[in-house]
Amino acid sequence: MMTILNRTTNRSMSELYRWCAGSLTIIVLCVYSTPTLAQEEVRYSWFEISYIGQDVDRMGTQSDIILQQTVDIHATDGDGIQFRGSVGTWNNFYIFVDFASSDIDIIGLVTNPGGEFPATDEFDFTTIRGGLGYRYPINYKMDIYGEFSYDSLDLDFGSLAGEDFDNNDQDIGGSLGIRAMFGDNLELRAYSRYSNVGNVYLNNPVGALDADTLFGVGFGFTLIRGLSITGDYESGEFSSWNLGFRIDLDED
């Protein structure tokens, strides 16, 4: 009879999230009493660190005829950390990069002649986007923009009982959006984007990554000149939200 043991999960990433959140909170508390200076226009040179939550909601099945074994998994949701940055503008062009890594919970069931054996685990969900953007000013406080990106998606499931649901690929993507300042401190944004590696079907055998169209909204609120609290929500086959801090770089 096969015995399935739940693997011990490495918690170092969770400790990193707490450390980052605590450090940034201290920075904000130290500077919040400084008089707020107005942000006059949308910025394109910045660095951001965020806490990210992701919803995968995928189910898959793999069977092994030799072992007479079937493994069913349900990937649910999880959390992680996200780093984003942008540098520009040169004749209204800018470059950007977006890296996110999350631990997603898995509920599994291994079925073989010995019986049914429930198991739980986590898997690594990593996305990377980078590319070139172009802004088109509508007025002093509102831009529309377009981006061309090279996207990477990596799902590293590991294994409960010898199965392999891992999948990764890279391909092109693009987005179109609008950013606007409301008053001196509040930025609102909305966008839609397309990715050739935005979706996956977990079956037997594991299918290739598929395309997806996503829609997002977000905000940024200036605490002091150069430091904002930001949040975004993105809806797609893999939905996500994030909350973090953005440091504006000198564009003057």
Using alpha carbons, list the distances in angstroms from residue 26 to 14, 15, 82, 87, 145: 19, 17, 19, 26, 34
Q: Which residues contact 191 (CB under 8 A, 6 or more apart)?
A: 175, 176, 177, 178, 215, 216
For 12-55+80-104+124-248, CATH number?
2.40.160
For tokens 């980052």, what's the residue? 20
| Residue range 22-70, pLDDT digits in tens | 544 444 444 443 444 444 689 999 999 999 999 999 999 999 998 899 9
pTM: 0.82
160 vs 109: CA distance, rounded Å: 9
Domain spans, the chain:
12-55+80-104+124-248
pLDDT confidence of 206, banded at 50, 70, 90? low
